[in-house]
Chain A
Amino acid sequence: MSLSLTYEGVGKTFDPSGKNPVRALDNVSFRIEPGELFCLLGPSGCGKTTLLRCTAGLESITGGKIFYGDRDVTSIPPFRRNIGMVFQSFALYPHMSVYENVAYGLRVRKVPEAQVRVKVTEMMELVGLPDVLKRNPSPTALSGGQQQRVAVARALVYDPEILLLDEPLANLDAKLRRHMRAEIRRIQKITNITTIFVTHDQEEAMAIGDRLAVLRHGVVEQIGTSDQLYHNPESAFVANFIGKMNFFHGRVSATTNDSVTVETAVKGVAVTASGEKVRIHGDRALGREVLIGARPEQLSISRTKDPHGLPGTVSIIQHLGQFVRYEVQTEGGIAERALEVDVDHLIPDLNEGDPVFVRIDEKNAGVYDSEGER
């Protein structure tokens, strides 16, 4: 039976009384449902690994509470929590055989030898390495992918209530990584253990997680499914971290109860956003500086002069298979950096250096606060 996992105002400050206290987590509160595969995502230093280590009890939190189900585990040491964890380095014991590595948690629990054998064999089958036990080598003799599987088996063998994965794929090469993330999702769904998966790779997080939390500076920016985060990012940071987002400078030119109209630096080109697409916090005063955000596929490009298009110059054309990406340099004041425009087909006779007009798909573009980094 799986457990939920609840954070209540969790805070962590390193070296609180020292010279340079570092606030790694600030008032983190959310709930992970039983059996969920939950991803913690964010750039390095955002606090995702700290949150995981606090969840494990390897770091003590300096504020708030953590619950496994209804049980407050805040001050319980890791070895009394019944959890499994896979480390980035795998942390397999070099002085023990593969069998002994996997059996470790069972030996700690003083499980009878016959049962240990059954459980270990079962786990090695689950992770797809039944044959390794025949030779039973030292884990150092295994390939990276095999070590990874042994680490997963070792973490699952004693039926932990929670499984924690700390960038488990970071040490594998790109192809193996894609394969292993599908494997991890498969194993997680079979065992149905509530799982946290930490990664800095948004593609990996979107591919594997039932839900994701994006962290920044120790604060949860947004929680949701991959789809919600991609199509409805709540902030410019999330918008840019999950997939690519083009940002245009703009000013609020009209507001209604539900919608906001933002005018770009080019006279006559404006975007009206409504409902969830409006992510401005605070007031909507006329003339306030905001950002218009549009995904590369939400922009279109034309060679002929377009009164609703923003002028620019094609700087790079990349053919990427299913689509073609045009990088467009705009004039000062329109956008922060070169725009990326994805279109289905190569536009004939459009070369690098040609002038073009970029139009924003008004239905899908969002409006964001301009403060804060992206």
Chain B
Amino acid sequence: MSKAVIDTKESWIERILKKDWTPYVVFAIPLIFLSIFLFWPLVTTLLRAFLGPGFAMNFENLGTENFSRFFTSRLYQRSLRNSLIIGFAVVVTTAFIGIPMGYCVARVKMPFKNLLLSLGILPIIMPSFIGAFSWIILLGRQGVVRLFLNTFLTPLGIEIPSIYGLFGIIFTMSLALYPFVFLLSYGAFSSANPLLEEAAMMMGSSRWRIMRTITLPLVIPSLGASAILVFIRSIGNFGIPAILGGEQYVLPTLIYFRVNGFWDLNGAAAIATVSIFITGGMLLLQKFVISRREYETISASRSEHKLHTHWAARLFATLYCGIVLLLSMAPNIAIIIMSFFERWRGPYPEGFTWNNYLRIPQVISSEIFNSLYLAVSASIITAVLGCLIAYIVERRRPKGAIILDLAVMAPFILPGIVVSVALLSAFSSGSILALGGTYTIIIISFTIRRTPYVFRSVVASLSQLDETLEESSMISGANWVYTFRRVSLPLIMPGILAGTILTFATLLQELSTTVLLYSARTRTVPIQIFAAVQDGFFGEGAAMSVMLLVTVFIVVYIMNRMLGRSVSSSFKLG
């Protein structure tokens, strides 16, 4: 019997002190951060949406004037209509581009599969507004490809329209977003159990019947997920319609117009609210309609798919994928060429020069510093926050963890510009915490937007990590913090790194959030490129774009080599 008899009657204070409170403290950090910088701004946005332009926050001022513009103003109606048209059109076009491509790469014997899969990811990583910019070079009023095609088509009475307007927006977005559909449907087609199809063949089904009754139904859930993702991204995209829209407004550019043109935050808040409801509705639709049709594949053995080997199938697959890849790569090539010339109007670029590059250090050295500073600091905060939330949600699940789940999902339905409006609503000058024009507000917006990337990446690593490793550490006498530092953290490090580096790469090119938040002091490289394109300095814009593209590419390439992970895994939805 132990001699050290400890009094078993302990007071409640002692009991409270003995309890391990660390998880609760850690739980509080992201909760407080998200409450202040996500929930509170969203609440103020909602409130502001019901205030007239310039009105102060006051119950007597509440009204629905802002929303009534959707019924009275032609500009509002057309913007909403354009956004919806673009959203649905891009879903359809990306499906037409991506699904056959996914099927071909998964099921047809063809060359360059790995190349296709790795280059296929590029349009997602590369900034889409740069794509829009380079399509102007190729298909703009004086675009080289357009002029070239029109010389053949004009005699036939057809003319390729210029890239400006709805057509151009849909075209550019489709090429920027098809990889989601391609990669997800590739995954679905290649992981579907081939025995199911073989069984159907044994029972005498024709190929087409198998396709219709077995293959497609099995991949529908992932196709549905990718369609929603494409829809949300396309109606939230700011850069492409801002550059190519011309007279045609969409909801994000309308918000920009409202804030930049009139400094009407309340009006912008109302548009943002409408936008949130559209994407939120789509997300619910996905949850209740599509994910219900998810099938458990019942199989233990993993046999390979028999690939189509008919020469016609192979030829078609190779050509098709080649053309799509060429189309999606064309902007990058055009932009590289452009960066060495003064102008490119008509068939050939003119005025070869190094100046576009040589001027970079003078013109945008502070922007480069800003971009790096903002991306690095936001990436670090994002990594810590995403990591904490993932750990809490996946491992501890205290009461209230659902708030964190929601908070982490929220940025998926919040376009960048909506996040900016929300932050401005809460923290513009005059509010309790005035952050307008500071680095802080941009870092916060980045953090809010990108935490899901790190979160998803870490959750994936954590779910593969045997929980008994952590338990055994606790048994050995290590508390929560020590266990996390010595056991969990080293083992989930690859996941954290992948998520963080990816975050860094996307933040370097972030335009849609910064465009409302930057001040003269906090301009970034994408802002500078955007301005150069709008002012017609194509050569300079192209050189800066190339610099950005190369940086992003190197970062992502290093990450892939270091971690051997597929970038696409971090992009999936919910």
Given the complex, which residues of B lie within 8 Å of A85, measured CB to CB?
Answer: 471-472, 475
Asked whether any CB of chain B lies closer than 8 Å to the CB of A91, the reply is yes
Q: Is A70 interfacial (CB-CB < 8 Å)?
A: yes
CA distance A76 to B494 in the complex (A): 34
B487 at the interface (CB under 8 A from A): yes
With beta carbons under 8 angstroms apart, the residue of B471, B479, B482 that contacts A91 is B471
Q: Does B469 contact A83, Cβ atoms closer than 8 Å?
A: no
A residues 158-183 touching B (CB-CB < 8 Å): 158, 164
A118 within 8 A of B: no
- CB of B473 within 8 A of chain A? yes
Inter-chain contact A72/B477, CB cutoff 8 Å: no
From B10, B466, B483, residue with most partner A Cβ within 10 Å: B466
Chain B 484-510 interface residues, beta-carbon cutoff 8 Å to A: 486-487, 490-491
What 0/1 pattern do residues 172 to 183 of B give for CB contact below 8 A with A?
000000000000
Q: Contact at B18–A70, with CB atoms within 8 Å?
A: no
Q: Do A58 and B2 contact each other (CB < 8 Å), given the known contacts A76-B18, A77-B19?
A: no
The secondary-structure label for the interface of chain A is loop
One digit per residue, 1 when the CB lies within 8 angstroms of any chain A CB and 0 when it does not, for chain B 7-24 equals 010100001001110000
Contact in complex: B473, A77 (CB < 8 Å)? no
**Are the C-beta atoms of A83 and B8 separated by less than 8 Å?**
no
**B-facing residues in A26-83 (Cβ within 8 Å):** 34, 56-58, 67, 69-72, 75-83
Min CB–CB distance B446 → chain A (angstroms): 31
Cβ contact within 8 Å between B6 and A71: yes
A146 to B1, CA, bound (A): 34
CA distance A104 to B19 in the complex (A): 23
Residues of B within 8 A of A34 (CB): 1
By the criterion CB–CB under 8 Å, are B491 and A94 in contact?
yes
Given contacts A75-B15, A76-B18, contact A70 B474 (CB under 8 A): no
Do B475 and A70 touch across chains, with their CB atoms under 8 A apart?
no
The answer to whether B476 touches A91 (Cβ under 8 A) is no
Q: Is A360 an interface residue (CB 8 A)?
A: no
Q: Are B8 and A87 neighbours in the complex by a CB distance under 8 Å? A: no
Bound form: Cα–Cα A79–B22 in Å: 13
B476/A158 in contact, CB under 8 A: yes
* A4, A72, A79: the one within 8 Å of B478 (CB): A79
Does A298 make an interface contact (CB < 8 A)?
no
Is A93 engaged at the interface, CB distance under 8 Å to the other chain?
Answer: yes
Asked if residues B475 and A56 are in contact (CB atoms below 8 Å), the reply is yes
Q: Does B468 contact A (CB under 8 A)?
A: yes
Which residues in B have their C-beta under 8 angstroms from that of A104? Answer: 473, 476, 478, 486
Q: How large is the interface on A (under 10, 10 to 19, 20 to 34, 35 or more residues)?
A: 35 or more
Identity of the chain A residue whose Cβ is nearest the Cβ of B2 in the assembled complex: A69
B491, A105: Cβ atoms under 8 Å? no
In the assembled complex, the Cα of A69 lies from the Cα of B2 at a distance in Å of 6
How many chain B residues touch A (Cβ–Cβ < 8 Å)? Answer: 28
Provided the pairs A108-B477, A108-B478, A158-B477 are in contact, do residues A72 and B8 lie with their beta carbons within 8 angstroms? yes
* Nearest-Cβ distance from residue A79 to partner chain B, whole angstroms: 5
How close is B188's CB to chain A, nearest CB, in angstroms?
31
Report the bound CA distance from A84 to B18 in whole Å.
20
Cβ of B5: which chain A residues have Cβ within 8 Å of it?
70
Quick one: CB contact mask for B288-304 with A, threshold 8 Å, 1 for yes?
Answer: 00000000000000000
For B471, list chain A residues within 8 Å (CB).
56, 58, 78, 85, 87, 91
Q: Quick check: is A149 within 8 A (CB to CB) of the other chain?
A: no
CB distance from A260 to the nearest CB of B (A): 42
C-alpha spacing A56/B468, complex, angstroms: 13
Residues in A with CB closer than 8 Å to B490 are 95
| Cα of A93 to Cα of B490 in the assembled complex, Å | 10
Distance between Cα atoms of A72 and B477 in the complex (Å): 18
Closest chain-A Cβ to B411's Cβ sits at a distance in Å of 30
A166 CB to nearest chain B CB (Å): 9
**Contact at B477–A91, with CB atoms within 8 Å?**
no
**Of B2, B472, B478, the contact of A1 (CB 8 Å cutoff):** B2
Q: Could you say which residues of chain A place their CB within 8 Å of the CB of B483?
A: 79
| Residues of A contacting B2 in the complex (Cβ-Cβ under 8 angstroms) | 1, 3, 69-71
Given known A70-B2, A70-B8, A91-B469, contact A75–B475 (CB-CB < 8 A) = no
List residues of chain A with CB within 8 A of the CB of B8.
Answer: 67, 70-72
Question: Shortest Cβ distance from B476 into chain A, in angstroms?
Answer: 4
The contact of B1 among A70, A80, A91, A109, by CB within 8 Å, is A70
What per-residue 1/0 map shows which CB atoms of B457-469 lie under 8 Å from chain A? 0000000001011
Residues of B within 8 A of A4 (CB): 1
Shortest CB-to-CB span from A182 to chain B, Å, is 24
B18 touches A154 (CB 8 A): no
The answer to whether A77 touches B474 (Cβ under 8 A) is: yes
Interface residues of A in 219-235 (CB under 8 A from B): none
Residue of B nearest to A109 (CB): B477
Minimum CB–CB distance from B480 to chain A (whole Å) comes to 8
A370 within 8 A of B: no
Cβ contacts under 8 Å, B472 to chain A: 85, 87, 91, 154
Q: Is the CB of B482 within 8 A of A108?
A: yes
A78–B475 alpha-carbon span in the complex (Å): 5
Contact residues in B for A84 (Cβ distance below 8 Å): 475-476
Minimum CB–CB distance for A151 against chain B, Å: 8
CB of B395, distance to nearest CB on chain A (Å): 13
Which B residue's beta carbon lies closest to that of A94? B491
Provide the bound-state CA to CA distance between A89 and B1, in Å: 33
- Contact of B468 with A89 in the complex, beta carbons under 8 Å: yes
Q: Cβ of B20: which chain A residues have Cβ within 8 Å of it?
A: 77, 79
Residues of A within 8 A of B487 (CB): 93
| Most chain A beta-carbon contacts within 10 A, residue among B8, B471, B487 | B471
Q: How far is the CB of A357 from chain B (nearest CB, A)?
A: 49
B475 near A83 (CB under 8 angstroms)? yes
**Chain A residue with Cβ nearest B475:** A85
Q: How many Å lie between the Cα of A72 and that of B6 in the bound state?
A: 8
| Assembly CA distance A305 to B368 (angstroms) | 104
Given A70-B8, A76-B18, A91-B471, A154-B1 contact (CB < 8 Å) = no
Chain A residues with CB under 8 A of B474: 57-58, 77-79
CB neighbours (8 Å) of A76 from chain B are 18
Instruction: Name A72's closest neighbour in chain B (CB-CB).
Output: B8
Residues of B within 8 A of A72 (CB): 6, 8, 10
Q: How long is the Cα–Cα vector from A104 to B476 in the complex, in angstroms?
A: 7
Which one of B6, B466, B475 contacts A89 once the chains associate, using CB atoms below 8 Å? Answer: B466
Annotate A102-115 by CB proximity to B: 1 below 8 A, 0 otherwise.
00110011000000
Closest Cβ–Cβ distance, residue B427 to chain A (whole Å): 39
Q: Are A87 and B18 in contact (CB under 8 A)?
A: no
B residues within 8 A CB of A67? 8
Cβ–Cβ contact B476 & A108, under 8 A: yes
Nearest-neighbor residue (CB-CB) of B8 within chain A: A72
Q: Among A77, A79, A104, A155, find the residue whose CB has the most chain B CB atoms closer than 10 A.
A: A79
Q: A69-B2, A70-B5, A94-B491 are in contact. Are A79 and B479 (CB under 8 A)?
A: yes
Rounded to whole angstroms, the CA-CA distance of A3 and B473 in the bound complex is: 22
Q: Given A76-B18, A77-B20, A84-B475, verify A91-B468 contact (CB < 8 Å).
A: yes
A67–B551 Cα distance when bound, in Å, is 61
**Are A95 and B475 in contact, with the CB atoms below 8 A?**
no
Closest 7 CB pairs of A and B: A69-B2, A105-B476, A91-B468, A91-B472, A77-B20, A85-B475, A72-B8
What are 16 inter-chain pairs, A to B, with CB distance below 8 A? A3-B2, A4-B1, A56-B471, A58-B471, A69-B1, A69-B2, A70-B1, A70-B5, A70-B8, A71-B2, A71-B8, A78-B471, A79-B474, A91-B466, A94-B491, A155-B475
User: Hey, which bits of chain B sit against chain A, CB under 8 A?
Assistant: 1-2, 5-6, 8, 10, 15, 18-20, 466, 468-469, 471-479, 482-483, 486-487, 490-491
A89-B466, A91-B471, A91-B472 known, 15 other contacts, Cβ within 8 Å: A34-B1, A56-B471, A56-B475, A57-B474, A69-B1, A70-B2, A71-B6, A77-B474, A79-B474, A80-B18, A80-B477, A82-B477, A83-B475, A88-B468, A91-B466
